[in-house]
Amino acid sequence: MTGRVAITPILLCGGSGTRLWPLSRRSYPKQFSALMGEESLFQASVRRVWGKEFARPVVVTGAEFRFIVTQQMAEVGADPAAVILEPSARNTGPAVLAAVMQVAQNDPEAIVLIAPSDHVVRDVQAFHAALTVAVGAAAEGRIVTFGITPDRAETGYGYLEVEGGVEAGVAAPLRRFVEKPDRARAEAMLAEGRFLWNAGIFMARADVLLAAFERHAPGLVGPVRAALEGAQPDLGFLRLAAEPWGEAEEISIDYAVMERAERLSVVPFDGGWSDLGGWETVWREMGPDGQGVAASGAVHAIDCRDTLLRSEAEGQVLIGLGLERMIAVAMPDAVLVAPMDRAQDLRLAVAALKASGARQATEFPKDHRPWGWFESLVLADRFQVKRIHVHPGASLSLQSHHHRAEHWIVVQGTARVTVDAEVRLVSENQSVYIPLGARHRLENPGKLPMVLIEVQTGGYLGEDDIIRYEDGYGRG
């Protein structure tokens, strides 16, 4: 992309991602997963808007994801201008408004690009070319949305009707937004050639967007402004004030502003876009083979047709035998098997799990923390076995437990272990015992990840049995 105007990206990084359960869950939604390659969708989104043509991005996310955001950005060599933490999920309307207000404090006429962080864009060069077209219209005071050239009669997307027809490389007036159509209407719109898929990506000057919110969603402005004015810095994050934020209406940017605003333009974009809104879409984007089989991980397809097979568990093999138009996704703690035609009904499965109290409904097998992650390998009455992964240079809090003792065995790297007044190094194949009630800390002083096996024993093994005395991550 070329041009003299720097674009400030606003990356929206919330959402629960239940349409891709069990890989995507509330505790670790799809944007942080490597669904389509080695990098996560969020990391790919950051790369698309990183470079000399862009200002550093502003990220809006939930407080529980703050360290995942910074860790994944650091892994791709990116540094955010700000990470705004939402006290609660209020949909994209308040999230966008808070970010735009933050940007406008420094430059009211800054051109902002509002983009979800869980989409796939295969042709980044074509995406940048579309941004170049949009910058001119945005600089003139227009709000620009991006429309995807449809290649099928899709009923899962909203549409944009372009005034006068679609022309490549032109920011044309937007006539109207169209809700998700039925099959007949989708086929008719595809044939007409005046309709594009709504990608939910927008560009405008910050002051123009603020004026649009003032006019079309004035009820959001007061609570969001108060939440931003009352925001507290927190280890490099900006934590919005919870009370006024909770008063903001839960509404999308589309309904709050875009479908009511004037002077909207649409730039067509044909560059391999997908929102990965369901497993059928993932199957299509993975590039099925000649038999229509898309496979990931340790899987074997025997006499299968038009089927998605994914094994996401280390050491687990998934076999598909005689399947046709099926989805099979295996995780360490949950397995999904469903007809392709029911891919959009996963909310029913998640609701059933929630009703039964199953943690698999919302909790990911790996529990991500600012220092790394852990996963439970065995959980039984009065004992639990975990694998703990600690990032280079990271450390857990200085803590103790009321109800459990722990035994640590280092299997990779070297740990610096504090137990009460004693501090020592524990290398591979060595172990250390942490008595009940002892103050202890685990650190990785090396330059490579450190992995250990933890065996807990005691009458209560919940994660809330932690008393923290010192913590480098601001946790209580």
Q: Is the predicted pLDDT of residue 3 greater than 70, yes or no?
A: no
Tokens (6 digits) for 458: 């005691």
Of the candidate ranges 88-92, 167-171, 228-232, the one whose mean pLDDT is the lowest: 167-171
Average pLDDT of span 184-193: 91
Q: Would you state the pLDDT for residue 476?
A: 60
Q: Is 192 exposed, middle or buried (0-12, 13-18, 19+ CB in 10 A)?
A: exposed
Which candidate, 88, 93, 87, 476, places its Cα nearest to that of 255?
93
Which candidate, 214, 212, 203, 208, places its Cα nearest to that of 141?
208
Give 366-470's CATH code, choosing from 1.10.10.10, 2.60.120.10, 3.30.300.30, 2.60.120.260.
Answer: 2.60.120.10
Q: Would you state the pLDDT for residue 2?
A: 45
Tokens (6 digits) for 57: 């991005």
Angle in degrees, 0-180, between the axes of helices 41-48 and 66-75, rounded to the nearest 10: 60
Q: Is the predicted pLDDT of residue 451 greater than 50, yes or no?
A: yes
**pTM, to two decimals:** 0.90
% of residues, the chain, pLDDT over 90? 82
> Are the C-beta atoms of 419 and 400 separated by less than 8 Å?
no
Average pLDDT of span 27-40: 91
6 vs 135: CA distance, rounded Å: 9
Q: Is the predicted pLDDT of residue 325 greater than 80, yes or no?
A: yes
Q: Is the predicted pLDDT of residue 242 greater than 90, yes or no?
A: yes
Q: Is the predicted pLDDT of residue 471 greater than 90, yes or no?
A: no
pLDDT digits (tens, 9 = 90+) for 204-220: 999 999 999 999 999 99
Q: Residue 357 corresponds to which amino acid?
A: G
Average pLDDT of span 358-386: 91
240 vs 228: CA distance, rounded Å: 6
Q: Residue 110 corresponds to which amino acid?
A: A
- Provide the residue ranges of all domains of the chain, joining segments of one domain with +: 7-274, 279-356, 366-470
Look at the domain 7-274 and name its fold.
Spore Coat Polysaccharide Biosynthesis Protein SpsA; Chain A (3.90.550)
For the chain, counts of helices (H) and of strands (E)? 11, 30
Band (393; pLDDT cuts 50, 70, 90): very high
